[in-house]
Amino acid sequence: MASRDEIRGAGGAPRILLDNVSVSYATQRGRLLVVDRVSLAVDRAEFVVLVGPSGCGKSTILRAIAGLNAAESGIISVDGKKVDGPPEHIGFMFQRDTLLPWLTVRGNIEVGLELAGVPSAQRTTRIADLLTLLRLSEFHDAYPAQLSGGMRHRVSLGRMLAYQPAVMLMDEPFGALDFQTKAVMGRELLRIWETERRSILFVTHDIEEAVALADRVLVFSPRPARIVAEHRIDLARPRNLQQLRTDPAFTAYTSAIWETLGDGEPVSA
Ligand SMILES: Nc1ncnc2c1ncn2[C@@H]1O[C@H](COP(=O)(O)OP(=O)(O)OP(=O)(O)O)[C@@H](O)[C@H]1O
């Protein structure tokens, strides 16, 4: 059985902790409250998915954890350390890939390693492992413009995985992809997560994707974001995404989430 430290991280703190966090933006029409007293904890190796109406504040929550937005009140910590700027060991993946067009697949992945200060001898091995993991070995010297959308997303994922972040914040990373590529990427991500086991906070609008990937799905209200429901997804792993879709338990989870999303009212005032 995993020890408490393996589950909770060093010192017993959850990987990510939000305690009563509110975030607002200053706008021309005054202060806009976007996140309203949200508390959540994500354990080491836990895959948590956030769903909620468009514009409710999901990206703002990820950005606050990444230290890109300050919390107006409450506390955010990663591995027990209060976040007051971009924390170490955090990887961010956006909906649009942000690859550097003048670098090859290898070069784009290597950027992550250089940023992490990994010595060049170790870089070579790590890149080779990642290229294999992401099934990109054949394309190591291709440029982003020569790749399909799904391949570019795999490279983005590789760049993030390269510096082995303990926490991966993924903001609709596959939202712009067609249905089939999205399914392939979901499968790849699960395969990698099952090998590398990081904490993942993943935002999506796709409820089936949420259930297929998550240990837990958190449902948010319309802005200001508050947690209206939490669904623990007790589906066995490793998951076969194709078989899952015909599993009655899978359908029951998606219906339950749709129901709580439809409601959209915060649980408590
Ligand atoms: N820098 C900013 N300044 C002012 N308002 C902002 C800023 N960033 C986001 N907002 C507003 O905050 C609200 C929440 O935005 P956010 O991007 O967090 O929502 P979201 O749930 O991720 O949306 P979506 O699902 O559509 O991506 C929106 O009303 C948005 O207009």
pLDDT reported for residue 170: 94
If you write DSSP's letter for every residue of 52-102 in order, what string do you get? -STTSSHHHHHHHHTTSS--SEEEEEETTEEPSSPPTTEEEE-SS----TT
Question: Which atom of ligand 1 has the smallest separation from the CA of 27?
Answer: 4
Burial 154-168 (b: 16+ CB within 10 A, else e): bbbbbbbbbbebbbb
Q: What are the residues whose beta carbons fall under 8 Å from the beta carbon of 144, sequence distance 6 or more?
A: 97, 99, 100, 101, 103, 105, 108, 152, 155
Question: Which atom of ligand 1 has the smallest separation from the CA of 95?
Answer: 27
pLDDT reported for residue 264: 52
**Best mutation site among 23, 59, 202 for ligand 1 pocket (most ligand atoms within 8 Å of CB):** 59
Q: What is the largest CA-CA distance in the chain?
A: 56
pLDDT reported for residue 168: 93
**Best mutation site among 21, 25, 171 for ligand 1 pocket (most ligand atoms within 8 Å of CB):** 25
Per-residue pLDDT of the chain in tens (269 residues, 90 and over written 9): 334 344 344 457 789 999 999 999 999 999 999 999 999 999 999 999 999 999 999 999 999 999 999 999 999 999 889 998 888 888 888 877 789 999 999 999 998 788 778 888 888 888 998 898 888 999 999 999 999 888 898 898 888 888 778 899 999 988 877 887 788 888 888 888 888 788 999 999 999 999 999 999 999 999 999 999 999 999 999 888 888 889 999 999 999 999 998 855 544 43
State if residue 195 touches ligand 1 by the CB under 6 angstroms criterion: no
State if residue 55 touches ligand 1 by the CB under 6 angstroms criterion: yes
The residue whose CA has the least distance to atom 23 of ligand 1 is: 55
Tokens representing 202 are 């993943």
pLDDT reported for residue 263: 57
State if residue 28 touches ligand 1 by the CB under 6 angstroms criterion: no
The residue whose CA has the least distance to atom 5 of ligand 1 is: 25
| pTM of this structure | 0.87
Angle 163-166-168 from CA coordinates, rounded to 5°? 85
pLDDT reported for residue 89: 82
